[in-house]
Structure 1
């Protein structure tokens, strides 16, 4: 995660200037010794670019990067706030969940931290009247959408950097501060993630673990969520996030039927993926309502198609 020192450096360089470590120490208040480590981290992450100035002096400037651009947008629209002083890694993680009103308990459970930790992360925002409403559920005020965009850019960058260190062809399809769903493009990268302890096969490739074997027309997807169980409900959601075409919807329904996944459980999981309406639509035919007249958010199989699929895979 982008540290406070790292953010202070980006803030100091966001105008596009070049600067030395000594100049940045003056600007940020951090020691040169500490900044050398910070600069190395930012360079490795692709957020900074280095060149040699007069007398072979090391100089850095910000790179053309989504995190930098999101920060510049935040400054342009809300430049009256000293964001480098206000934002910590913990605050940025909590901000991810403030796109809609959420309770402190809900955010704490999702981040696997204490409620006190969430309150502490929210404190700088609460003191500046940046949250709406004021509780017991919190969300960012409407005019703070650039802050939400910056938090999302930072979190996505963190996941992208982590997975690409192992599998360079990876792309992040979905993420939150603790979890990421990724695709890879090469067999070598598939092997790398299969060998990594924090990554698990998911999506259609995971169906084999439940007795449903499908042909994959490419490399499988992977899930990053250390120390968390990958549940069938998550696998259904990952399948739909990766491909919401009619065949994948039918396969997802087949897994629901085979494992008898409870609708309430799946809906609770689907909330994090904005798939509640898709899940509700999928359960109607599973309960025998194949001829529902209302428009569906996903393309559902006909009764004959789904019956044939169940017979093919021996799902009763």
Structure 2
């Protein structure tokens, strides 16, 4: 996660200027020793670039990295706020969930922190009247969409950097501050993630663990959520996020049927992936209503197709 010191450096250089570590240390009031560590981290992450001046002195400047560009947009559209002073890693993680009104308890559970921790992260925004309270729920004010975009750019960057250190071909398909769903393009990257303790096979590749073996065209998908159980409901949602074509929808329905996944449980999980309407549509034929309306969000199998699939995979 981008640290406060890292954000202070980006803030100081966001106009496109160059500076030395000594100049930045004076300007943002961090020691040069600490600044060198921060600069090295930002250089490695691709947020900064450097050139060498006389006596091999380092001059650094920001790149056009998505995090930097999102911060520049935030500055230009809301230039009356000292964002580098206001934002912390914790505040950025909480901001991820403020695209719609949410309860503090809901955010705390999703981030696996205390409600007090969420309130503390929100306090700088509360004091600046940046939140829109709706009963017991909070969301960012409508004019703060650049802050949400910046928070999401930071989180996505963190996940990409983490996985690409192990699997350079990885692409991010879905994430939140603590979880990520990714694809890889090479067998070597698949092997690397299979050997990494924090990554688990998911999507169609995970069906084999439940007695359903399918042919995979290409490399499997992986899930990052350390110390968190990967549930069948998660696997169904990952399958649909990765491919919502009719064949994958049929396979997801087959897994629901085989494991008797409760609709309420799956819907609760699906809300984080914006799949509630898809899940509702899938349960109608599972309950015997195969006459699909024209406004269905996904293409569902006919009764004959689904019964044949169940017979093929011996799902009763």
**Cα distance in 1 for residues equivalent to 2:163 and 2:189:** 10
Determine whether 1:98 maps to 2:89. Answer: no
- Deviation of 1:136 after TM superposition, in Å, equals 1.4
Which stretches of structure 1, 4 residues or longer, exceed 4 Å deviation after superposition? none
Q: How does 1:56-71 map to 2 (within 5 A)?
A: 56-71=56-71
- Hey, what does 1:170 align to over in structure 2? 170
- Hey, what does 1:147 align to over in structure 2? 147
**Cα distance in 1 for residues equivalent to 2:293 and 2:38:** 58
Q: Is the 8 A contact 2:292 2:300 kept in 1?
A: no
Q: 292-301 or 204-213: which moved more?
A: 292-301
**Cα distance in 1 for residues equivalent to 2:191 and 2:53:** 43
**Cα distance in 1 for residues equivalent to 2:293 and 2:31:** 67
Three-state SS of the structure 1 residue aligned to 2:165 is helix
Q: How does 1:119-134 map to 2 (within 5 A)?
A: 119-133=119-133
- Deviation of 1:135 after TM superposition, in Å, equals 4.8
- Hey, what does 2:80 align to over in structure 1? 80
Q: Is the 8 A contact 2:66 2:153 kept in 1?
A: yes
Q: How does 1:283-298 map to 2 (within 5 A)?
A: 283-298=283-298
- Deviation of 1:293 after TM superposition, in Å, equals 2.6
Let me know the Cα RMSD of the aligned residues. Answer: 0.8
- Hey, what does 1:26 align to over in structure 2? 26
Unpaired runs of 5+ in structure 1? none
- Hey, what does 2:310 align to over in structure 1? 310
- Deviation of 1:134 after TM superposition, in Å, equals 6.0
**Cα distance in 2 for residues equivalent to 1:288 and 1:251:** 17
- Deviation of 1:50 after TM superposition, in Å, equals 1.0
Three-state SS of the structure 2 residue aligned to 1:200 is strand
Q: 57-66 or 266-275: which moved more?
A: 57-66
Determine whether 1:268 maps to 2:268. Answer: yes
- Hey, what does 2:157 align to over in structure 1? 157
Q: What's the CA shift string for 1:4-39, capped at 9, x where partnerless?
A: 000000000001111100111122111111100000
TM-score by length of 1: 0.99
Q: State the aligned residue count.
A: 316
- Hey, what does 1:220 align to over in structure 2? 220
Q: How does 1:159-238 map to 2 (within 5 A)?
A: 159-238=159-238
- Hey, what does 2:54 align to over in structure 1? 54
- Deviation of 1:55 after TM superposition, in Å, equals 3.0
Three-state SS of the structure 1 residue aligned to 2:50 is strand
Q: What's the CA shift string for 1:63-104, capped at 9, x where partnerless?
A: 110000000000010011000000000000000000000001
TM-score by length of 2: 0.99
- Deviation of 1:56 after TM superposition, in Å, equals 2.2
Q: What's the CA shift string for 1:114-139, capped at 9, x where partnerless?
A: 00000000000000000001651000
**Cα distance in 1 for residues equivalent to 2:35 and 2:293:** 62
**Cα distance in 1 for residues equivalent to 2:240 and 2:222:** 14
Determine whether 1:299 maps to 2:299. Answer: yes
**Cα distance in 1 for residues equivalent to 2:124 and 2:36:** 28
